Amino acid sequence: MSADQIVVLLVRCGLVLLFLPFSALDKIFNFSGAVGQASETFSARPLAIAAIVAGLGIEIVMSLGIILGIADRLCAFVMAGYCALTALLWKRFWATGDFWTGPASRGRGLFWDFLKNLSLGAGFLLITVGPTGSGLNHLLHDPFGSTYPYG
């Protein structure tokens, strides 16, 4: 493996590090806590469980696709959507009612987490579209294709 390929591997590992292994392991080892958090958004317990299982699958499968370079544009696109969706569902800073009460408010903390989720999603979109935007055509015409990050 060349030095360039090692850098690409390290960057991709860093991009998914939050999800694989950490968030995925947290969902596995603290499943009831994760379902409890999901129940704040989904009142039906079976729906909360389904959301956690779906999230776990996305975090593992899509992260591996990004790291290995297998259908990595599609995997990164799904991860970008996942980041945006989790921001909207679980980082609802606007719903706390305390955003303007001061710097230590729960709403402000959620606001920064919301922006981090969106920023991370934008990082995944860079894999999807590439530095020039031409990757979007590749995604549309060959959704399971690869960027061939390792040569």
pLDDT tens-digit profile of 17-43?
A: 999 999 999 999 999 999 999 999 999
> How confident is residue 10, by pLDDT bands cut at 50, 70 and 90?
very high
The pLDDT value given to residue 127: 96
Q: List for the chain the helix, strand, coil content (%; round to 5).
A: 75, 0, 25
Q: Is the pLDDT of residue 79 over 90?
A: yes
- Taking residue 51's Cβ as centre, other Cβ atoms within 10 Å add up to 20
Let me know: does 31 contact 85? Beta carbons within 8 Å: no
- What's the average model confidence in pLDDT over 70-75? 97
Q: For 83-138, what is each residue's pLDDT tens digit?
A: 999 999 999 999 999 988 988 899 999 999 999 999 999 999 999 999 888 999 99
Let me know: does 136 contact 128? Beta carbons within 8 Å: yes
